[in-house]
Every structure is written in structure tokens, then in C-alpha cells.
Amino acid sequence: MIKILKKILCFSGKHKGQLVRAVWYHIFYSVFEALPVAGILYSLTAIAESKADGAPLSIRVILITLGIMLISVAGRILFHYLANRESSTACFSMCADQRIAIGERLKRMPMGFFNTNSLGEITSSVTTTMNEIEAMAGTAITNIVVGLVHAVILTLVITMFHWKIGLISFAAILLGLWVNGFLQKKSMEIAPEKQDVQASLASAVLEYIQGISVVKAYGLGETSNRTVDRAIGESCHQNLRFERLFTGLTALYSYIFKAAACGVLMAACCLFAGGELSLFNALTIVISSFVMYSYIEGVGGSASLLELIDDNLNRIQAVYEAPVLDENGADIQPDHFDIEFKDVSFSYDTRKILDHVDLRIPERTTAAIVGPSGGGKSTLCSLIARFWDVDSGEVLLNGRNVKDYTSDSLLSNISIVFQNVYLFRGTIADNIRFGRPGATMEQIMEAAKKACCHDFITEFPQGYDTLVGEGGGSLSGGQKQRISIARAILKDAPIIILDEATSSVDPENELQLQTAIEELTKRKTVIMIAHRLTTVRHADQILVLSGGKIAERGRHEELVEKNGLYREFLQVRKRAIGWSLDKNP
């Protein structure tokens, strides 16, 4: 239990002080909550003395009792407010900080992390998991600490009146802690299963929603629904199993202290009857028996949540323990933007993608990469941007290994237009501004005009303020691709990577877009992946990638003359779409 409490405090970071203050405020609250007991004892003693003396009850006794009650109410209101304020603020703030920190770390992780961990698990870490910590951590800490402190202090107080009653109370506390330990052990067994089921549910729902178009197209609605239904059913089963187990154990835990309170009350009466306790002491113990376990009873429910919190913290810690790509990187601004591969090999698990590749792309030149699907073209570009790390060899920018750079300093020099475009939920202007967060509206519009998307944007009723759905689902493929090109134009980085940048553009706009790309790539270092070989004719060098190796390299005219793999690609394209082998543009 103590270990988990320490982990929560460590997780809270700079908000640790607020959680500690919340605990102290709750302790003060418990003191003021117990204050009416003192008022009752004082008034009962005064009444007994008044009756014995035959004198009327003094107004002073009434006023003092009233004052004690008013102070109790005021103290409880004040410290309840302070405790909840500090606890809530600390929990929400620490989880907000952790979400941001995880987001920053995810940006620096290799893409392999996202392949080996399901989207549901990653999403769960920053949503469901963090929500549970947010809701339960503060309550668990305060309930456990305050409950134990409150019970121990009152037990010590009544022990001063009579050791036998103190022994009953201490025995109850020890027995309760033993049951609590058993409860935690069971929770430790079930909590990971419960979290796994929650992650599986999130994955199933996300997969269903993201693949809804395929589900509809192939009439798989019933099959997909069954998958989601099974995940929901399993989640329900695990939650019910969790509740059934802990309801019984928590009830047993609570029963121990109810029985102990009865035992203390009966012992006080028996000792008073036997003359071992005075009336005042007996009354003190009797009244205390009703409140002394009020807080520690809540520890049982909170302790059953501790293992859930612990498992949640372990899952979040697993994200922090995953390797990042730029742990030892420095913020470097290169003077030149030439790119070089030196004996680079790379594999996805055991599948070899690049095999001892050597190449050099001089600054402000264009390299076009062509080759069969699965030949490693996109992988080669990903290694430049350091989405992955090479298995062996080096990728150099300005003569320095990309591993020497931080992710931010490396990627600040690179603009990428992906084949599969992703737009974020927000306005079209926001999505273009992603390339340069501080850009003005005039700069956004200028970039859009160069990317040939200004006209269709202005046709929307809200223009640049048009909201696009998550992933850009409300726009066509060509529209999304042109917006992504506008984003890259606005960023104006010295290195441009184009991954099939015109693949989704309709023929009537392709010429305009080619003109825009030519404008974008002037005086830049350009790496261009293309299956439309017309887009690579004017490249300074063409790299033909096949079987993980560079099979051919040279200019268009040189490679056509060689009558090799490049010319074979041209022949295939000619048969497919009626190309001409005319060497002239």
C-alpha cells in the first residue's frame, strides 16, 4: 500500500505538495468533525453535575456547547473546501501534465512502437487510464492516510482511559489491515485483466469506426458487430467479476469495524458497571465508539482501487520506458542540406527492406526514387526523417548522423507530403497552418494558391473556416492531398520529401500542381517517390530501388539508354496508360 502511495506522489510531479496539503486539510477536517463529541461530553458532564448538585444548568454551558458546535461546522466547511480544492486541482493538473508529456514522448518514438502496440492500448493510456487516475488517486490517498491516522489517534486516546478497550481497538485495526492486504492481493490478480479488457474494447471500437467503409462495402456489419459485442461483453464480465469479489471483501472489512465499535461500547459499559471506569471516561469511550472507525472503514473501498491505480501507473510507465529516438540528440541547425546513406541496412522484424544501400543527394538537387511496390522507397524516406533507426550503417545530414539531432531540430528542416494524407479535426486554415503555427491568413492563402486549392476552398460556404472531420473525411482524396501540399509549401523547409504527392490529383489539376511543386522545390533538396514516371524525368538523379538495393542510378536519358530495369518500368507504363518513350520532355 505504501509503495503505491509513493508511486502516486511520484507521478504527481510538481503537484505533490498539493496532494500532501489535501491530506493535511482532510486530517484537520476529521478533527473538526470529531469536535462535536467534545461538545456532547462537556454538556453531558455538566448535566450530570447539575443534577447531582440540584442546581439549574448554567447558560454558560449552553453557550460553550453551541460555540463548539459552530466552530465544528465552520472548520468542516473550510477544510472540506480546501481539501477538495487541493486534491481536485492536483489530480486534474498532474494528469494534464502527464498527457502532454506522453504526447511529446510519442512524437519521438520509433514507428515500431505503434506497430507493436495497438492503437486501443495507446489511446487507453491517455484517456481511460488517465481518467481513472484523475478520479481515484486523490480520493484513495486522502481516505487511506486520513482513515489510518484518525483511527490510530482515537485508539491511543481511549487506551489512556483503559488498556483493555485500547487492545480491542488495536486488534480491530490489525485485523482490518490483514483483510485489506488480502483484498489488495486479489485486486493485483484481477486489475491487469480488467485493464487488458478495457484496452481490447477501445481497440475493437476504434477498428470498427475506422474501418466502417470496408464493413459497409463488404456487408460485414453483422460480423463486425459481433466482434465489438464480444469486447463489450467481456468488459462487462470483468467489471462484474471485479465488483462481486470486492463487494464481499469490502463488506467483511467494514463488518470488522462495526463489530469493533460494538465491542468497545459493550466493554466500556461493563468496565463502568464493574467500577473500573468513571462515568466521564465511560461516556467518552461510548460516544467515541460511534466515530472512531468512520474514516478507516472507507479505506477498504479505496484500497481496492489502489491496485487498479497501480496497474494504470505501470501502463503509463511502460510508455515512458519505451525507447525514444533522440534521447542523446542535440538541437543542431545544419549549414548545408546534402543527404548521404552509408552502407545502410534496415529490416522490419526479420524482413529485409534495405540491404547495404549507399547513396548521396547533394544539396539543392532532386533525387527521384522508383521501383516495385515493397521495394523500400517509403522506408528510405522514413529513415531520412528518422521515423525509424537503421539496423546498420549511417544516414547523414550535412555530414552528421541524424541520430545526433533531436527529432524537432531534424524535422524542422524537412517538409513531407505523404501518399496517405491525414487532416486533423479543425478548420482548413488550421490544417494548412500546421506547417507554420504562427502563419498569418495571408500567408495561408498564398500557400493554398500555390498548391491549387484556393479555388475549391473559397467555394465552401465558410471558406478557410470550413470544418473538416477527423482524418479529413469530408474532403476528396485530391482535395486533402492539395491541402497537405499547401501545408508543406507554408513550412518552406530546405528538404522536401514527396511520397506520391500527385497520386490522388485529377488530370485537369495535375499540370497546375506540377507547376506548384516545381515552385516549392526550387533551391531545395528534394527526394521524390513516384510511380508516375513523367514526374521524375527532370530529376538530377533517378534511383531505381529493387530487392532492397539500388539497382540503377542516373538521369532519365542515361537510364533509358541502358535498357535495364528503369526502361522496363517505362515499357510497363506505356502499355498501361499509353506513354511515349520520347526522351524529350
Element (H, E) at 50: helix 16-53
Q: Are 489 and 454 in contact (CB under 8 A)?
A: no
Q: Is there a single domain that holds both residue 80 and residue 197?
A: yes
Last residue of a domain, one of 292, 321, 350: 321
Q: What is the pLDDT of residue 576?
A: 57
Task: Quote the cell numbers at residue 255.
Answer: 463488518
Q: Is there a single domain that holds both residue 317 and residue 253?
A: yes
SS3 362: coil
The pLDDT of 445-451, averaged and rounded, is: 88
Report d(CA 123, CA 315) in Å as an integer. Answer: 12
Distance of CA 456 to the CA centre of its chain: 36
Is residue 497 domain-resident?
A: no
Report d(CA 292, CA 151) in Å as an integer. Answer: 6
49-76 pLDDT, tens digit per residue, is 787 777 787 888 889 989 989 999 999 9
The percentage of the chain sitting over the pLDDT mark of 90, rounded to a whole number, equals 13
75-95 pLDDT, tens digit per residue, is 999 999 998 899 889 888 988
> 159-173, 447-461, 567-581: which has the minimum mean pLDDT?
567-581
Residue 138: which CATH number?
Answer: 1.20.1560.10
Is residue 193 domain-resident?
A: yes
Q: How confident is the model at residue 470 (pLDDT cuts 50, 70, 90)?
A: low
Residue 441 reports pLDDT greater than 80: yes
Q: Which strands form 392-397's sheet, in the order they lie side by side? A: 351-361, 339-348, 392-397, 400-401
Q: Is there a single domain that holds both residue 160 and residue 38?
A: yes
Q: What is the pLDDT of residue 508?
A: 61
CB atoms within 10 A of CB 257: 24
Residue 427, beta-bridge partner list:
467
**DSSP assignment letter at 531:** S
Q: What is the pLDDT of residue 61?
A: 85
> 53-67, 240-254, 381-395, 570-584: which has the minimum mean pLDDT?
570-584
Is residue 459 domain-resident?
A: no
Q: Is there a single domain that holds both residue 280 and residue 393?
A: no
Last residue of a domain, one of 263, 288, 321: 321
Q: What is the pLDDT of residue 443?
A: 92
Q: Is there a single domain that holds both residue 239 and residue 349?
A: no
Is residue 268 domain-resident?
A: yes
54: left (phi over 0), alpha (psi -120 to 50) or beta: left
Q: What is the pLDDT of residue 580?
A: 46
Element (H, E) at 544: strand 541-546
Q: What is the pLDDT of residue 359?
A: 92
Domain, as residue range, for 59:
2-321
Q: What is the pLDDT of residue 581?
A: 44
Highest mean pLDDT among 338-347, 429-438, 547-556: 338-347
Report d(CA 377, CA 528) in Å as an integer. Answer: 9
Q: How confident is the model at residue 465 (pLDDT cuts 50, 70, 90)?
A: very high
349-402 pLDDT, tens digit per residue, is 778 889 999 999 999 998 989 888 777 888 898 899 888 888 999 999 999 999
Q: Is there a single domain that holds both residue 266 and residue 385?
A: no
129-145 pLDDT, tens digit per residue, is 788 788 778 877 877 77
Residue 228 reports pLDDT greater than 90: no
| Residues 73-112 as b or e (16 or more Cβ within 10 Å = b) | eebbeebbebbbebbeebbebbbeebbeebeeebebbbee
Is residue 437 domain-resident?
A: no
Last residue of a domain, one of 254, 287, 321: 321
Q: How confident is the model at residue 339 (pLDDT cuts 50, 70, 90)?
A: very high
The percentage of the chain sitting over the pLDDT mark of 70, rounded to a whole number, equals 85
Q: Is there a single domain that holds both residue 247 and residue 272?
A: yes
Report d(CA 140, CA 26) in Å as an integer. Answer: 12
SS3 425: coil
Q: What is the pLDDT of residue 510?
A: 67
The pLDDT of 430-450, averaged and rounded, is: 89
Is residue 489 domain-resident?
A: no
Q: Is there a single domain that holds both residue 128 and residue 229?
A: yes
The pLDDT of 498-517, averaged and rounded, is: 67
Q: Is there a single domain that holds both residue 46 and residue 128?
A: yes
